[in-house]
Structure formats: C-alpha cells, structure tokens
C-alpha cells in the first residue's frame, strides 16, 4: 500500500506504508488513513525525524565477498526520511495557511 503526502507548497511524496508508518510513529502521529500536519507542528516533526535518523545511524557495511547477491541493498532511514523532512521544512517556512496531509487506502 502507498501513502501519499501532499503539501500546499511543495507537491507530493509517495512512499510505502511500511516506511510511512516508521516515520509517522517517530513523529508521534497515528497511522490513520488520513492525517495532517499543521504549520505549527512541522518544525517539531522535522526535528523528531532528524533525531530518529541520527539514532538509527547508517546501515552496516557488508564485506563484498559475504554479501548475498540476491538480497536487495539496505536503504538507510535517513534516505527514506529525507523527502518528508524537506517537505516539512519547506512547507513550515511558508505562509500561515500551509499544511501537509497524508492519504492512504486504509489505516496502516
């Protein structure tokens, strides 16, 4: 399932529900089918994601010979979080009516 984040200022970001769940829980939001970030919430939400990324660190490096060629590469939390962090930062700096909503086909 996909979750669509839409900003009044920056457009949209799509991500898989599994990733969106991790990011929204790090912010303290419920993973409902629809939700919103107000302009006042955005700076704190962006900071919460930055802290979650810092705690997660980067993925462990594997020895080239030991790497299972059939496994997909590990994508770090920071890589997955960055589009939402950027959206929160940019939208939060815009006008007083700025907002971000998310939509999914069901709660996740």
| Three-state helix/strand/coil letters over 42-107 | HHHHHHHHHHHHHHHCCCCCCCCCCCCCCCCCCCCHHHHHHHHHHHHHHHHCCCCCCEEEEECCCC
Distance, in Å, from the CA atom of 50 to the CA atom of 27, rounded to the nearest integer, reads 10
Question: Of the given ranges (15-19, 35-39, 93-97), which has the lowest mean pLDDT?
Answer: 93-97
Average pLDDT taken over every residue of the chain: 91
pLDDT digits 0-9 by tens, 18-34: 999 999 999 999 999 99
pLDDT > 70? residue 66:
no
**What does the pLDDT read at residue 80?**
95
pTM tops 0.75, yes or no? yes
pLDDT > 90? residue 35:
yes
**What does the pLDDT read at residue 71?**
73
């Amino acid at each position: 399932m996909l979750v669509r984040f839409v900003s009044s200022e920056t457009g949209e970001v799509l991500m898989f529900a599994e990733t969106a769940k991790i990011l929204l829980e790090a912010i303290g939001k419920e993973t409902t089918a629809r939700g919103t970030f107000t302009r006042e919430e955005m700076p704190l939400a962006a900071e919460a994601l930055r802290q979650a990324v810092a705690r997660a660190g980067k993925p462990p490096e594997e020895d080239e010979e030991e790497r299972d060629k059939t496994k997909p590469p590990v994508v770090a939390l920071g890589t997955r979080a960055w589009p939402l962090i950027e959206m929160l930062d940019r939208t939060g700096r815009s006008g007083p009516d700025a907002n971000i909503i998310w939509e999914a086909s069901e709660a996740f």
